[in-house]
Amino acid sequence: MIRVLCTALNAESGPHFQILADAGHECHVVDRSLDLWNPAVLSRAIQDYDAVIAGSEPWPPDVIASSGRLRVIARAGVGFDAVNLAACDDHRIVVATTPGCNHHSVAEQAIAMLMAVGRGFPALDQEVRRGEWNRNPWPRVWGRTIGLVGLGRIGQATAIRAKGLGLKVIAFDPAPPTAFAAEHGVQLVPLEILITQSDFISLHLPVTPATRHMINDESISRMKPGVVIINTSRGPLIDEPALIRALQSGKVRGAGLDVFAVEPLPLDSPLINMPNVLLSGHVAGLDNESHDATWEMGAQIILKLLRGDWPADCIQNLKGCNDWKW
């Protein structure tokens, strides 16, 4: 029997409990009063567990080194930038993600934010609540150009929806899916071209040394006046002070942000009170369908590894490893 701890949010319900119980294992949810962003607290919480279905809490080397019997960190979602892969390699801990579960949910959030900000929300809503009745025109979304920075599963799901809204879709991806682009009429362009031609820019890349702060003073200076920026991917893709300056100046007309450099977003952030910014709390990947699919896949990954299988499409570290054993 193994013991699995769920640290990701919304773990209190889902198919993972039954899947693991049917296989003869225990599954528990972490004490929600704990501050898992504190390495010492996280280290204590994971003691005596063999696997974790993890959230967005950070997993630095000192936590990995003190993890005891831990063998698997299965991230609920596709991002793994919070996990120190090198430390996990050193301690032979598998780091896995759950791809293909939440791309439709994230795409819907990106499009919802695009439409809302594009049509003047949240300012319009706030004006009515203050008793103001301003009837001013806004730019039409139909016929504009959206630039997708990243054309993986989520970018592709966003592209299909954007085409249905009458948007011209251009995209940049380090490894572009040419067949998809040709089938759906997506124009693949260099990032430099996307930055200068897009009316809406939606981010769908992981955070790497090459992508960190890719939206910054310099890249914003090359964007169209009045561009709208949507980020449902990772907060550090954007240099937040640079974005705030551009929002204040009007160079960037508005932004829809689900992710931030620091989460939860500090209440003293200038973004909080900006009428041209729509905010949500890292929930883009959460809908009922993705919730169940993510938890099921997380449990199944653990069981596959336990019986000696190697779900390579989900595993993000130990590259070239052919002798890992539980």
Q: Which residues participate in catalysis according to the annotation? A: 234, 263, 282
Cα(41)–Cα(262) distance, rounded to whole angstroms?
19
Q: Helices 103-118 and 288-306, interaxial angle, to 10°? A: 150
Cα(324)–Cα(326) distance, rounded to whole angstroms?
7
Count other Cβ atoms within 10 Å, centred on residue 132: 10
CA angle in degrees (0–180, nearest 5) for 23-24-26: 110
φ/ψ of residue 163, rounded to 5: -60, -40
**Which residue shows structure tokens 């362009």?**
189
Distance of CA 88 to the CA centre of its chain: 21
> Beta-strand (E) ranges in the chain?
3-6, 26-29, 51-54, 72-75, 94-96, 145-149, 168-172, 187-188, 200-203, 227-231, 252-257, 277-279
Q: Which residues of 85-110 are buried (b: 16+ CB within 10 A; e: fewer)?
A: bebbbeeebbbbbbbebbbbbbbbbb
Q: What value does the CA radius of gyration of the chain take, rounded to a whole number of Å? A: 21
User: Two tokens at 157?
Assistant: 């799901």
Cα(30)–Cα(48) distance, rounded to whole angstroms?
13
User: Two tokens at 18?
Assistant: 């039954």
Which residues lie across from 147 on neighbouring strands?
170, 201
Instruction: Please name the amino acid found at residue 88.
Output: C
Burial of 307 (0-12, 13-18, 19+ CB in 10 A): exposed
Which residues lie across from 254 on neighbouring strands?
228
